[in-house]
């Protein structure tokens, strides 16, 4: 039987809100890290044809530049889109019990709102600029497209 070559894909893409206060920490070697929970909602219709919402609580970890980015640009409740990979860690706790956790290791994060600071150090949110509408040039035809 021929060897089956499976693609090595471990990719998570999702959106949600940060469900906890963000605390920037550093490893003993000085690498920034933030652990947070992402609340992802999914809507579906039940048997009575009523819309229901189910929330999944996903453990995430951001390292280095993404940890610093989160510390400066996000807060509890911030809406974000993240890309990452799913990772499982095994360890033994202080009571000598084997533990296992699965988390999303962030490769990219985009906030859907920004946290800015004024001169007094207060924080607030700023509206996200919207991209121009596709109908900005309604007179364009297929003859106008250069390809």
The domain ranges of the chain are: 9-44+51-102
Helix (H) / strand (E) element for 73: namely helix 64-73
The pLDDT of residue 114 = 60
The pLDDT of residue 54 = 95
- The pTM of this model reads 0.70
The pLDDT of residue 3 = 80
3 state SS of 24: coil
Beta strands in the chain (DSSP E): 12-18, 25-26, 32-45, 51-63, 79-92, 98-111, 114-117, 123-126
pLDDT band at 64 (very low <50, low <70, confident <90, very high): very high
The pLDDT of residue 4 = 81
The pLDDT of residue 80 = 96
The pLDDT of residue 116 = 57
d(CA 112, CA 80): 5
pLDDT band at 119 (very low <50, low <70, confident <90, very high): very low
Second-level CATH architecture of 9-44+51-102: Beta Barrel (2.40)
The pLDDT of residue 131 = 40
Q: Is the pLDDT of residue 133 over 80?
A: no
pLDDT band at 115 (very low <50, low <70, confident <90, very high): low
């Amino acid at each position: 039987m021929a060897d089956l070559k499976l693609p090595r894909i471990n990719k998570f893409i999702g959106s949600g809100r940060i469900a906890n206060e963000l605390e920037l920490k550093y490893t003993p070697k000085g690498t920034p890290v933030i652990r947070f929970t992402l609340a992802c909602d999914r809507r579906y219709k039940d048997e009575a044809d009523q819309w229901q919402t189910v929330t999944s609580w996903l453990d995430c970890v951001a390292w280095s530049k993404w940890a610093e980015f989160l510390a400066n640009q996000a807060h509890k409740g911030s809406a974000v889109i993240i890309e990452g990979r799913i990772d499982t860690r095994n360890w033994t706790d202080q009571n000598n019990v084997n533990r296992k956790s699965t988390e999303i290791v962030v490769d990219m994060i985009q906030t859907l709102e920004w946290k800015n600071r004024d001169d007094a150090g207060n924080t607030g949110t700023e509206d996200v600029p919207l991209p121009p509408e596709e109908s900005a040039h309604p007179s364009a035809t297929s003859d106008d497209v250069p390809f």
